[in-house]
Structure 1
């Protein structure tokens, strides 16, 4: 069974992803949520998830900084953002993210492994 960390400063997005996606169908049994990159980094270091879904623009630590901090870890990352800014997409490519999805997103768009 797998673990996932969902990181977004919008509570409705965090809780929506946690509740709407049939995580068990993808063999995820533990879902952690974080409201910013600082919380996410702590959860990632502590629990070593197989998947991180993160927003790009957040307070305290943004998604690009989070990507830099976890680059050495063996986890897959999906970026979920309201911004189609090329620099953010470029950072995602450089960090080999699985996908860069624009909000709003439905679970059919998420390709989990």
Structure 2
């Protein structure tokens, strides 16, 4: 079961991993993603562009909406699960990220 996203408040943290394209262009393919969390600011260092503020309201837990995509980010065990819905091209990607060591 997916849990609530909890990140350190003071230090930035980098998470990285591989994702699977589950629908749309390139379905079945693998893609890489690296995200940096600095408080509530989330930026992609590699992969699809993201520079946003994570919304932690109960009704939108771990959701970032941009002009090009919706990112749902949740804790799953020791990892982060990221479900990315891109609008153009229409594509859904599921990532499982681990903290960078």
Identify the structure with bigger relative contact order (alpha carbons < 8 Å, sequence gap 6+).
2
Structure with bigger strand share is 2
Structure with bigger helix share is 1
With the length of structure 1 as denominator, give the TM-score of the two structures. 0.29
With the length of structure 2 as denominator, give the TM-score of the two structures. 0.31
